[in-house]
Structure formats: C-alpha cells, structure tokens
Amino acid sequence: MRNPHPSLTRLNREWSDLAEETVPRSWRVEPALSDLPDLGAVLAAVRPAPDEVLAALLRIGEPAAHRVVLQALLGRLVLDAARDPHHDFDDYLAELWLLIAEYPLARRPSRIAANLVLDARKRVRAQRRERPTDPVRLGELARAAPIPAPNPALLFARARRVALINPGAERALRLVYSEGYASQEAAALLGVTPAALRQRCHRALRRLAARLADFEELVA
C-alpha cells in the first residue's frame, strides 16, 4: 500500500494513546507481564519472547489484551494486504481480529504469531471464490433464521462487542440498515468502492446469520 490505509492510520493513532496506559493489575498474574509498566512495554516485549507474551495476552482474553496482539501483527497484515490484488487491509483486519478472539491456545501454544497471520491469510483468500451479494440480504437471512428479525442497531453493537464483526463492518452495516443509506452513498462515506462495500457486508452477514440464535434477546 503506497498510502496508509485509513484503518491502519486510525489504529496506529489509537495505539499512540493506548501505549501509555498502565498495565492493569489483573494482568500481573501472568509472569511475562508482571514487571511491565505500560502497554507500550508489553508490545515491545513481544519481539524477544513472542509465544510467552502473546500466550499471556490471549489467556487474559480482554479486549485491551487482544488489541496489543493485533498491534503486534499489524506489520505482517500490511504486507499480506499489499500483495493481494483481490482484498484490502480491512479484509485482513476483520479476519485477524476474529481469529485472535477465538485462538485455540491449548491446542496451538507455539508459533502463535505465525499461526494467526497464516490463518487470516487463508480465510481472506478463500473468499475469492465467494460471489458478493447485495446487503439487502440481511432481511432474507433474518427471515430464514429460527427467530424473529433482530433490531439491527442492537445486533451490530453486540456482534462487535463479542468480536463477531470488526468496527469497519459494523459501520458499513449501520449505514445501510440503521441509517438507510444506499450502497453507493455508504461506500462513498466509507471511502471504498460499492463492490468492496458489498463484499464487506456479505461477509459480515454470513457471520451474523450463523449466530442469530445467540442474540435472541435483541429481537425487535
């Protein structure tokens, strides 16, 4: 990517503030983190002891811990996105964030960084075979589910909190469903092409459709 992707710029700007935050006291039960003063120091500790530090962060399982893992892998994500003519940085970002949240640490305790990056690459590149569908399919997916159609705003917010979708996907879905923008207008607001918007929504809809039963309390 010749110019930084907007999401990458946002993440790095966000990290410049997060790096100064003190390591939470609850994290200090992990030996790899016990002597580190702030999140910036945690990130710096990944390079000399990647599996030890990343495993500690994954065991903690909090969003802030996952955010450090994400920051540690951003460089690799940028390289993969730059080499892929079919997908952009947001595609890799969404898949990596989900993989961090669901990483099977007990089964794969070593080469954690490589596993996460390779798994994200496989998931993204497997999507080339998918035929993008228009975002209006959310209504069809909801009607096909065994529960009533969900309240979109609540559904999207809950899905992002449990890392089912990333902030970019939530914003795309909110623009189309909660705020009523046409696909072309929403794409312009997000700085992407209408085709990219359709792909982003399509992937998010597939995840939501598979998990609608988990959000029964959010039905309208």
pLDDT tens digit string along 27-81?
999 999 999 999 999 999 999 999 999 999 999 999 899 999 999 999 999 999 8
Percentage of the chain exceeding pLDDT 70: 79
- Look at residue 116 in the predicted model and tell me its pLDDT: 97
Instruction: Specify whether 142 is located in the same domain as 122.
Output: no
Q: Which domain holds residue 98?
A: 6-129
Q: In this model, does residue 148 exceed pLDDT 70?
A: no
Q: Per the domain annotation, does 108 fall within a domain? A: yes
- In the chain, the largest separation of any two C-alpha atoms, in whole Å, equals 52
Rounded Cα–Cα distance for residues 3 and 179 (Å): 30
Rounded Cα–Cα distance for residues 113 and 24 (Å): 23
- Look at residue 4 in the predicted model and tell me its pLDDT: 67
Instruction: Specify whether 14 is located in the same domain as 83.
Output: yes
- Between residues 42 and 89, the one the model is more confident about: 42
Instruction: Specify whether 161 is located in the same domain as 102.
Output: no
- The answer to whether 102 touches 90, Cβ cutoff 8 Å, is no
Take residue 108 and report the two structure tokens written for it. 């794969």
The count of domains in the chain is: 2
Instruction: Specify whether 109 is located in the same domain as 171.
Output: no
Instruction: Specify whether 33 is located in the same domain as 94.
Output: yes
Q: Per the domain annotation, does 206 fall within a domain? A: yes
pLDDT digits (tens, 9 = 90+) for 194-213: 777 777 777 777 777 666 55
Reported as a pLDDT band with limits 50, 70 and 90, residue 23 is very high
Eight-class DSSP state of 217? G
Domain end: 65, 96, 129, which one?
129
> Residue 106: what residue type?
A
Eight-class DSSP state of 177? I
What's this model's pTM, rounded to 2 decimal places? 0.64
Closest CA to 160 of 210, 9, 168: 168
Instruction: Specify whether 124 is located in the same domain as 141.
Output: no
- Between residues 1 and 52, the one the model is more confident about: 52
Instruction: Specify whether 65 is located in the same domain as 105.
Output: yes
Q: Per the domain annotation, does 199 fall within a domain? A: yes
Q: Per the domain annotation, does 1 fall within a domain? A: no
- The answer to whether 81 touches 91, Cβ cutoff 8 Å, is yes
Instruction: Specify whether 115 is located in the same domain as 141.
Output: no
Instruction: Specify whether 12 is located in the same domain as 106.
Output: yes
Domain end: 129, 157, 172, which one?
129
Domain end: 97, 129, 161, which one?
129
Among 2-11, 37-46, 131-140, name the one with the lowest average pLDDT: 131-140
Query: Which residues make Cβ contacts (< 8 Å) with residue 21, sequence separation at least 6?
Result: 38, 39, 64
- The answer to whether 95 touches 200, Cβ cutoff 8 Å, is no
Instruction: Specify whether 67 is located in the same domain as 96.
Output: yes
According to DSSP H, which parts of the chain are helical?
A: 6-18, 39-46, 50-60, 63-83, 89-102, 112-126, 137-144, 152-161, 167-173, 183-190, 194-211
CATH number at residue 148: 1.10.10.10
- The answer to whether 95 touches 120, Cβ cutoff 8 Å, is yes
